[in-house]
Amino acid sequence: MSHLVIAPVIFPLLAGTLLLLLRRVISLRVRRQLNLLALVVGVILAVRLLLEVSDGTILVYALGNWPAPYGIVLVADRLSAWMLLVTALLACFAMLYAVRGTDAGSRHFHPLFQLQLFGLYGAFLTGDLFNLFVFFEILLLASYGLLLHRGGAERVRAGLHFVALNLAGSTLFLFALGTIYGITGTLNMADLALEVTRTSPDDLGVVRAAGLLLFGVFALKSALVPLYLWLPAAYSETSAPVAALFAIMTKVGAYAILRVYTLIFGPEAGPVADLIAPWLLPMALVTIMVATLGVLAAQALRRQVAYLVVVSVGLLLTAFALGTPAGIAAGLYYLAHTTFAAAAFFLLADVICMGRGPLRDRLDPGPVIANAKLIGALFFITAILVAGLPPLSGFIGKYMLLRAAVDTSSMPWVFAVVLSAGLLGIIALARTGSLLFYRATGTIERASTHGRAAPGPNWGRLLPIMGLLGLCLALLIWADPVYEFTRAAADQVLTPSDYIRAVLGDATTDLSGEPLAPITAAPDRTAGVTLD
């Protein structure tokens, strides 16, 4: 049993606890250094874990050495390792921006940041539905504090809506878990994948209802229409590095949908097979169109970026809804791209706000900001990334999605919605760039410096933005090996017997009652073993 699986979960918990205990003893500078060191270690652990599972091995860690399904297990496969690496890289650049001054004003910012990562990493690695609920609550509790950091009336109002809706979602989550446990007697995901296939006709309606209730909770977490209304205000009103970190929050809901509805309620789930198939694709496509209208109608830059996050959720879940290896692989590639691009956009929007004086991020013509050429170039690159124009990674991700949809019956709808939303997004971002840069007149800096030279670029704030854009560039340069990995991850996700066998052991039986093949030391996951 490899302790590497639990290390990414334990380390931010220990780091957050240490920062909390020492918050009154050590200076802000030391807190920053400790946090950044912990984040670098998190990246190293995520890379190491990804390398360990890249050959298809599924690592299982049984806490207290209690075997599943009786004990708590953490499970690392290609999908969870990919999510960990994306989150760890995002957190590093968000914190690099935060230490330029956003983290000041509260001793709790750095502990909460680490506890947020503790919840995120745990949600990606847990093999148990109840502990998925626990980690959801941990990351949400930390996110409440981070969202409200440094206060303000609008931020508190947005935070109240965020808290109220997510508490309602948590309550429904508990109802669904209690119902499922009452019928099946287990909440271990691998064990549930077997138990739901044996559901009696009398309990079938209850299990379906509980499964759909879970989907409603995950749809709220991922901001699907009509459960997205909390996101634009919360993401646009909080501080920039927190909004950047929150770019991964909606992906937790998308991850949960992919994991639960391929493993537990997937095509091999017998009477509850493909439970959300009639719902997921239509909701994802409607989310794209509704959020695109929000992008067009936004009167503030940060609100526009928040709606772009909702658009990306729709695109991501459209890819997952196709249910094919190519579709899921495209979604996992696009997930990394949109997380980094949206985070960079939130940070860049904050830099633009600080340069526009009282106008802040309102989309009205205003003064020329300092270093407008450099910031305008970064805006142009980020807009191309988000809009999905060639030749950057956004185009690659959308191309993969459209190519995956070609052989499906939903191809006309996917092409129509994705392409039309892309066109409208380009129009909206072109208008924004024109208002912020081309139609700007006069300067704040010259009026305030009495003829002295305008200040140089604030590299401390611009370098994290460039780093996130650099990650998008890396996705473009190494698109082929990244796609090969995501395709292998998709194949593994669509072979639930591998996951079940790894968690429950070689004695596990398939749906026909026959024993599953034993696991070898270096399994070949390209073909997999399917359940009968």
Residue 439, pLDDT score: 78
Q: Which range, of 58-67, 80-89, 225-234, 441-450, averages the lowest pLDDT?
A: 441-450
Residue 384 counted as domain residue = yes
pLDDT, tens only, 10-42: 999 999 999 999 888 888 899 999 999 999 999
Residue 271, pLDDT score: 85
Residue 450 counted as domain residue = no
Residues in CB range of 62: below 8 A, 6 or more apart: 1, 68, 71, 72, 73
Q: Which domain holds residue 64?
A: 7-444+457-503
Tokens at residue 176, please?
């669904």
Tokens at residue 275, please?
């439970």
Mean pLDDT, rounded, for 479-495: 95
Residue 195 counted as domain residue = yes
The residue among 144, 98, 106 whose CA lies nearest residue 24 is 106
Among 388-392, 457-461, 508-512, the range of highest mean pLDDT: 388-392
Note whether 361 and 300 are within 8 A (CB): yes
Tokens at residue 322, please?
């196709």
pLDDT, tens only, 339-381: 999 999 999 999 998 888 788 888 888 788 888 889 999 999 9
Strands (E), 104-186: none
Residue 519, pLDDT score: 35
**Amino acid at the residue 421:** A
Tokens at residue 105, please?
């004003």
Measured between alpha carbons, how far is residue 275 from residues 207, 270, 487, 510 in Å?
10, 10, 23, 20
pLDDT(443) > 60? no
pLDDT(155) > 50? yes
| pLDDT band, very low/low/confident/very high, at 454 (cuts 50, 70, 90) | low
| pLDDT band, very low/low/confident/very high, at 306 (cuts 50, 70, 90) | very high
- Quote the percentage of the chain above a pLDDT of 90: 64
Residues in CB range of 448: below 8 A, 6 or more apart: none
| pLDDT band, very low/low/confident/very high, at 456 (cuts 50, 70, 90) | low
Q: How many domains does one find in the chain? A: 1
Question: Distance between CA atoms of 268 and 279, rounded to whole angstroms?
Answer: 18
Note whether 139 and 249 are within 8 A (CB): yes
Tokens at residue 200, please?
């009696």
Residue 449 counted as domain residue = no
- Strands 73-76, 59-62: pairing is antiparallel
Residues in CB range of 60: below 8 A, 6 or more apart: 1, 5, 68, 73, 74, 75, 76, 127, 502, 503
Measured between alpha carbons, how far is residue 339 from residues 12, 346, 360, 532 in Å?
21, 11, 24, 37
Question: Distance between CA atoms of 405 and 400, rounded to whole angstroms?
Answer: 9
Mean pLDDT, rounded, for 84-104: 93
Q: Which range, of 250-254, 358-362, 424-428, averages the lowest pLDDT?
A: 358-362
| pLDDT band, very low/low/confident/very high, at 116 (cuts 50, 70, 90) | very high
Residue 81, pLDDT score: 96
pLDDT(417) > 50? yes
Note whether 273 and 382 are within 8 A (CB): no
Residue 201 counted as domain residue = yes
User: Is 174 in a helix, a strand, or coil?
Assistant: helix
The residue among 103, 118, 106, 2 whose CA lies nearest residue 61 is 2
Question: Distance between CA atoms of 78 and 284, rounded to whole angstroms?
Answer: 24
Question: DSSP code of 60?
Answer: E
User: Within 13 A of 478's CA, how many CA atoms are on the CB side?
Assistant: 12
pLDDT(128) > 50? yes
Residue 528 counted as domain residue = no
Tokens at residue 248, please?
């991964």
**Between 442 and 406, residue with greater pLDDT:** 406
pLDDT(463) > 80? yes
Residue 66 counted as domain residue = yes
**Amino acid at the residue 430:** A
The residues pairing with 60 across neighbouring beta strands, listed in sequence order, are 75
Mean pLDDT, rounded, for 453-474: 86
| Mean pLDDT over each residue of the chain, to the nearest integer | 87
The residues pairing with 300 across neighbouring beta strands, listed in sequence order, are 362
Question: Distance between CA atoms of 488 and 477, rounded to whole angstroms?
Answer: 19
Mean pLDDT, rounded, for 499-526: 53
Question: Distance between CA atoms of 411 and 302, rounded to whole angstroms?
Answer: 33
**Between 379 and 443, residue with greater pLDDT:** 379
Residues in CB range of 115: below 8 A, 6 or more apart: 12, 13, 16, 138, 139, 141, 142
pTM: 0.90
**Amino acid at the residue 117:** L
- Quote the percentage of the chain above a pLDDT of 70: 92
Residues in CB range of 131: below 8 A, 6 or more apart: 72, 122
- Find the helix or strand (DSSP H, E) in which 485 lies: helix 479-493
Mean pLDDT, rounded, for 460-479: 94
Residue 229, pLDDT score: 87
Question: Distance between CA atoms of 418 and 340, rounded to whole angstroms?
Answer: 20
Residue 512, pLDDT score: 40
pLDDT, tens only, 175-232: 999 999 999 989 999 999 999 988 888 888 999 999 999 999 999 999 998 889 889 9
**Between 286 and 516, residue with greater pLDDT:** 286
Note whether 385 and 337 are within 8 A (CB): yes
Residue 509 counted as domain residue = no
Question: Distance between CA atoms of 388 and 322, rounded to whole angstroms?
Answer: 20
pLDDT(522) > 60? no
